[in-house]
Amino acid sequence: METSIDDVTEDTGAPAGPTVTAADHADAVTDTAVPAAAPAPVATAPASLSPSRAGDFMQCPLLYRFRVIDRLPEKPSEAATRGTLVHAVLERLFDAPAAERTAPRAKSLVPGQWDRLRESRPELGELFTDDPEGERLAQWLSEAERLVERWFTLEDPSRLEPAERELFVEAELDSGLRLRGIIDRVDVAPTGEVRIVDYKTGKAPRPQYAEGALFQMKFYALVVWRLKKVVPRRLQLVYLGSGDVLTYDPVLADLERVERKLLALWEAIRLATETGDWRPRPTKLCGWCDHQAHCPEFGGTPPPYPLPVRAAESGGTEQGRMGPD
């Protein structure tokens, strides 16, 4: 999901800090292993991965470091917050009896869900502080309504009875790595077949990028398989921004492949944590990165790395920021 807030945290051993990422929707999972009053960040290899944080590392290791180790704050974005709002509306609509799950009813939920969101995340109030007349807010809300309305052209909620909504899942692999995340919707057919559904408020990717979009879904399928010993029959991405539905029917080999990929990723993260070598990987996505001021690619300096970093030549240690590129 690319336009909403994902606050899944990894078990880094680092103290909790303000983190708002623009990866997914409200995967708000608190890392309870983190002592709230710890004095300083400690760089510890993660014990768990979510699709968003795995995606961060694949996109740019330094971005992962900024989000997971340094816990640098990020400004809430209108697009990400709208994604969170739309997800909340789609979830709440299933509280109503099937016949009442109509587009007008769904749209009517938007203002109330926005109020709830603002109450639970006061920092979102800063999104519209420069909009005293409320024009931009009105436009933003009406765009959220338009996305909600488009859902009805793609699925018919009056014919759906989700087995789960906003389902937190977590499973441990044999290696000890824990995979965790929140699945938007799980449908279970009378035959027992499982469908995992994810809503996106952005547009569907071009076909050549579909594999990347499916990574998150295969991640969830792997977790479900690990938990229930059932390979989901279908993975379904619902793109409200463009009105597309992308589906994929996984087989066991897909999930085994994803598991191998995640283990390799975990090892790479562990290595970077130990060495302090978090390399920036500039792409056009840097335009959406909140951390350019700390990024060497943009003339910035990362915060001091909270771990003695092994010096490459002397074999000794020094308190460093990052290893040499």
CB 57 within 8 A of CB 64: yes
Q: Which is nearer to ligand SF4, 160 or 286 (CB)?
A: 286
Binding residue for ligand SF4 (CB under 6 A) from 286, 306, 310, 323?
Answer: 286
Q: Which is nearer to ligand SF4, 82 or 291 (CB)?
A: 291
Estimate to the nearest angstrom the gap between the alpha carbon of 195 and the chain centroid: 20
Q: Residue 139: which residues within 8 A CB-CB, separation 6 or more? A: none
CB 38 within 8 A of CB 16: no
| List of E strands, 13-154 | 48-49
281 contributes a contact to ligand SF4 by CB under 6 A: yes
8 contributes a contact to ligand SF4 by CB under 6 A: no
Q: Output the smallest distance, CB 295 to ligand SF4, in A.
A: 3
Residue 129 C-beta-side C-alpha neighbours within 13 Å = 8
Binding residue for ligand SF4 (CB under 6 A) from 295, 307, 309, 322?
Answer: 295
Which residue type is seen at 178?
Answer: R
Alpha-carbon gap, residue 230 to 232, rounded angstroms: 6
Q: What are phi and psi of 45, to 5 degrees?
A: -60, 140
Select from 13, 41, 44, 12 the least CA-distant residue to 274. 44
Alpha-carbon gap, residue 61 to 299, rounded angstroms: 17
Q: Output the smallest distance, CB 299 to ligand SF4, in A.
A: 11
Q: Output the smallest distance, CB 289 to ligand SF4, in A.
A: 3
Q: Output the smallest distance, CB 285 to ligand SF4, in A.
A: 6
142 contributes a contact to ligand SF4 by CB under 6 A: no
Q: Output the smallest distance, CB 185 to ligand SF4, in A.
A: 30
Q: Which is nearer to ligand SF4, 90 or 309 (CB)?
A: 309
Q: Select the span of 38-46, 85-93, 294-302, 315-323 touching ligand SF4 (CB under 6 A).
A: 294-302
CB 196 within 8 A of CB 168: no
* Cα 209–Cα 236–Cα 171 angle in degrees, nearest 5: 95
282 contributes a contact to ligand SF4 by CB under 6 A: yes
Q: Which is nearer to ligand SF4, 159 or 284 (CB)?
A: 284
Binding residue for ligand SF4 (CB under 6 A) from 5, 106, 291, 309?
Answer: 291
Interface with ligand SF4 by CB under 6 A: which residues? 60, 62-63, 280-282, 285-286, 289, 291-292, 295, 297-298
